[in-house]
Structure 1
Amino acid sequence: MDVAIDTPAKTFIQVAEIWVPDGDRLVHGGGSYGDLTAFKAASHRSSFAKGEGLPGKAWAEARPVVLKEFEGSIFQRTEAAAAAGLTSAVAVPVFAGKTLKAVLMVLCGDDAERIGAIEVWREKDNCLKLDDGYYGAAKHFEWVSQHTHFPRGQGLPGGVWAAETPILMRDLGSGYRFIRADSASKAGLTTGLGLPIPVPSGETYVLTLLSARGTPIARRFELWDARVAKVGKDGGAVLADGICAREGRLWDADNPRKISAWQGVIGQVVGNGLPAVESGAHGLAAGYSSMVALPIYHGAELAHIVAWYV
């Protein structure tokens, strides 16, 4: 359903960009920068060797990496980021088996208004514990998260761990399935997206994106299933779940929505197996200014695509 929606004045994530392997370096593979033109130009001029900068660190260490401040860190575009008001970033490597397909980077600014969460959970001692995360102004929720752990199947991170699939969770502040519901309600967090991040070591990582009304991570979320068992031998992907702030649920169980390889942005991800970041009206549903589509692999096979729109 394509209808015009209001674009929020502020979003929790300000920049999303893709870095793809080219020989022994990661090169710029697209991004959404809004009006941060100087930072965009600096990014287009950049590339990273393995272990170099934040994308290179995620590549070398083969795991998601959170960087809460840039000054004095491995981040290499510090001056341009400071001028753009960017203060933190999360790098998410996309592996198909042992092969790095790309690194997705999301960057945020820090002020008193931005509320949300980007969390990395890691399995330790047979439960998921917070490896690191960025929360903006949601300091109490950050403290609660640092002192919470999830057995397999419990809460959003534990549910993703048990199912090995992305999960979209609504009404975080009132949902009994969300373990941190009380503190989420106080922070104004409303929607949660959890996704497995497979890495070559076989360690368990779960990424969670928690969105608030005032500074949302996204206005629309989509979960696409690309497993052959679901889409058949001809391939493609089926919309398995989705929600939009205005449109509500996007999926009709009696009429599943399927796309073929190379059909639109999601089909492009099915076709080439790489994440996509789009900005502007081209290829997007009406009323959205940007989108991120992230492939998730099971072994070497594409299993899911997670998309969010602003």
Structure 2
Amino acid sequence: MRPKLVFVHGIGGPRQVDQERHRWTAALADGMRKAGHSDIAEDLANSDSPEIEFAYYGDLFTTPHAQGGDASLSATNELQLVSELFTQILAELETGDERLRLIVERATEELHPHGTPQGAGDVLRRLINAATTLLSVGPFALAGQWLSARLLVRDLAQVARYLARAEPDEDGSTLDRRVRDRVDAALGDDPAIVVAHSLGSVVSYEVLHCRRREIPLLVTLGSPLLMRSVVWPRVRPQPPRTPEQVRRWANFWDRDDIIVARPRLEADMLANSLGVLPASGRVDSDGAWVHTATKYLAHADVGGPVAETIRRLRRSDE
């Protein structure tokens, strides 16, 4: 069969789909070359094979579809989810550096000052204050991804908004459903290799549970699935288990990736009926901010399994 490769992105602002597809493809091809699969890498870079889809859903977080208002974060319960997410990220930050330790302590105090928050506006102010402090030093400051605290809160809020199962459009389809529909459409009707990053790993996990066609390989990068306070208890279905059609699941994490609270998914995930569990592997990237998808993709450990699966699928069609 002609292999199909589907990329699923994570949190962030608007993206140019063609540019992102090119960047992800180039990084993955680099990882394949490092793993000794130069022939597959060249085919990938030249768009010869496999067919490549970039499942884009970022515009759904900015388009005013929600009934009764725009698609901005405003509900108190969603803001509380963001606060819980922020709290867990702060708790997981490596604070060996004294200055960073003080910054984390200050941000935590700003996030949870004395007194009960008075509505959504108060929760949002606390989040922005804590984000402003966090952006002053450490990995967030060096990421170069957020020009302001409000943008950082906006992007982290995408996780909460997805899991809130709210913001219905005029047809009653909630935000999370519309996101899943985008990814499902990119997958199409044929077996596909899925490479999912960050929030995209959560979305893909849920989409693949509804698929009937085989998924030869699922690759998750920097996945927040095991964030205990926010993500793990809210993903569907429960209890979390490997989607039935997944034949292999390779999960990768970087020890400096602050979005990955607990990296080894196989420790808590149940197997599907074929006994498939995630196999987690650590990669080490350069720089202070390592959550970027292309940094993960450029590793041999990531490129290798994808190239091997493409090669196997080609041979099965000969």
TM-score normalized by the length of structure 1: 0.29
Greater fraction strand: 1
Q: Which has the larger radius of gyration?
A: 2
Greater fraction helix: 2
Structure number with the bigger relative contact order (C-alpha 8 A, sep ≥ 6) is 2
